[in-house]
Amino acid sequence: MAEASDRRSQAPSGARSQGEAEPRRPPREKASEVALEGIRVLDFSTVGPAARCARILADYGAEVIKVGAPPGRQGVQIQPAFHAYAGHRWMKQVRIDLKADEGRAAFLELAKGADVVLESYRPGVAERLGIGYGAVRGVNPRVVYCSTSGYGQSGPAARWAGHDLDYLAVGGYLACSGPRADGGPPIPGASVADGAAGGMHAAIAILAALQRRARTGEGQYLDVSVAEGVLALMALAIDEHLATGAEPGPGHDVLSGRYAFYDTYPARDGKWLAVGAIEPAFYANLCKALGLERWIPHQMDDAAQEEIRADFRAAFRTRDRDDWVAELAPADTCVAPVYSVAELVHDAQFAARGAFCEARHPERGAFRQLAPVLAGMRRPEGPVAVREGSATDTDGLLRSAGLSQDAIQDMKRRGVVA
C-alpha cells in the first residue's frame, strides 16, 4: 500500500493567487553533469518498449544512435509520427542495410565503440542477420546487449506476436482492472506494458549492467520480457495469491475499489474527482469536509460501503470539480482532479516543475512536448531542435568508426547506407 503524499496541491485552474511568488523550477542539469554522458547506445527500435527505453537513456544523457534501414529497404518498419517519442530529441541516426555483407560489417565497426546495443526483433532474427549478441560480443566484449520482446527469448510463447494489451492480459493487469460497462476488462488509457513493463524494465536492466561492467569490466546479455515486466508490476496481487490463495480482482482490496475512500466521483459539472483517503486521518478530514462525520468510524466496514459511496456521490454533486479541488486538495484529504490530457498540460503544479518544453521541427515549426521529467534527467535550457525524420548522421558516424570516405560513398551509391 502506497503512503499518501503530504504535498500541498496547486489549484487546478493554473492561476496563482495575488502576491504568490513565482514557483521555483528545478535546477537544470549542466552538460557535464548528465548521468549517462559518454555512454553510446545503438538502437534498432522504431516503436514500442525498446523505443521507450532509448528515450529514457537519451534523456539521461546517453548518445543514442537510431539504426534503421535505407529508404526502400525498410520493409514493415513502422515510422512514428514526428512528435512521437519526443521527436527523437538529442538522438542521431544511421541508415544501414543489414542484409548486405558490407552493411553488416559497417554496423559491427560501429558496435566496436558502443556501450549498449538495444534491439526488439523477434527472437532469433538478430542472430540470422549476423548482428546478435555473439557477433557483437566478438568485436566488443564489454558491450551490454539488450533484447526486448513480448514474452522473452525462450519458452513456448517466445515467438508469439503481441502488443501492449496482450502483455497486460497475460500478466493479470486487465483481470484486476475494471470492469467496463459490458462486464469485460477495460482498455487501459496508457500503454503501461510498453512504457513501464518494457521500456523502464529495459532501462533499469541496462543501467544495472553498466554498473556491473564498471565493477567487473564484463559486458552482459539482457533478455527483457515485457510480459514478465507486467508480472513485476502485479507483484502485490501475485504474491498475495501465492501466499494465501486469495483471488485478486476488481473490488478485492483497498487499491482495487473495495472501499468508498478509494474511488472516483462525479462533480456537479460532470467532471470527476479521485479520492485516495487511505489513512484514517485523511479519511476523517474528508468526511468532516463533506459534512459526513457519521461515517468516520466505518471506514473499513464492508457492510457500510455502498451507503458511504452514495453519500460521497451526493455530496460531490453539489459543487463543480475545481471548486472541490481548491478546498479539499490542500486540506490533507487525498483528493485530486481527474484531468483530461488537454487539461493536465495547463496544470499549475506541472508548470512549476517545468514538465513541458518547446520543440522546433524544420517543417512542422514550433510545438510543445513533454520535457524529460524523471528525476536526474537533463532538462533543456531552451527550445529543443527536432530533426526531420530522413536526416541522418551516417557519414560522420561511419568515418568515426574507421571507414574511409570513398568506401562510404560507394556504399551510398549502391544503397547499402543512407
Q: Is 231 helix (H, G, I), strand (E, B) or coil?
A: helix
- Separation between Cα atoms, residue 188 and residue 311, nearest integer Å: 28
Residue in 90, 92, 79 with CA at minimum distance from that of residue 46:
79
Catalytic residue among 194, 263, 332, 347: 194
Q: How far apart (Å, rounded) are the C-alpha atoms in residues 85 and 211?
A: 26
117: cell is 546495443
Catalytic hit among 163, 239, 346, 410: 163
Q: Are 177 and 251 in contact (CB under 8 A)?
A: no
Q: Which three cell numbers stand for residue 180?
A: 467496463
Amino acid letter for position 4: A
Q: Dihedral angle at the C-alpha atoms of 269, 274, 278, 281, nearest 10 degrees? A: -40
Under a CB-based contact definition with an 8 Å cutoff, are residues 146 and 219 in contact? no
CB 150, CB 162: distance < 8 Å: yes
Instruction: Answer yes or no: 163 catalytic.
Output: yes
CB 373 within 8 A of CB 101: no
Question: What secondary structure letter does DSSP report for 96?
Answer: B
Q: Report the C-alpha gap between 37 and 373 in whole angstroms.
A: 18
CA 186 to chain CA centroid, Å, is 20
Q: How many CB atoms lie within 10 A of CB 206?
A: 26
Burial readout 302-340 (b: 16 or more C-beta within 10 A, e: otherwise) = eebbeebeebbeebbeeeebbebbbebbebbbbbbbebe
Cβ 145 vs Cβ 136: under 8 Å? yes
Q: Are 218 and 142 within 8 A, CB to CB?
A: yes
Q: What are the start-end ranges of the H helices in 270-404?
A: 280-289, 305-316, 321-328, 341-344, 348-352, 394-400
Q: DSSP secondary-structure letter at 120? A: -
| CA nearest to 321, candidates 262, 265, 278 | 265
Annotation marks residue 194 as catalytic: yes
User: Residue 238 is placed in which grid cell?
Assistant: 501475485
Residues with catalytic roles = 163, 194
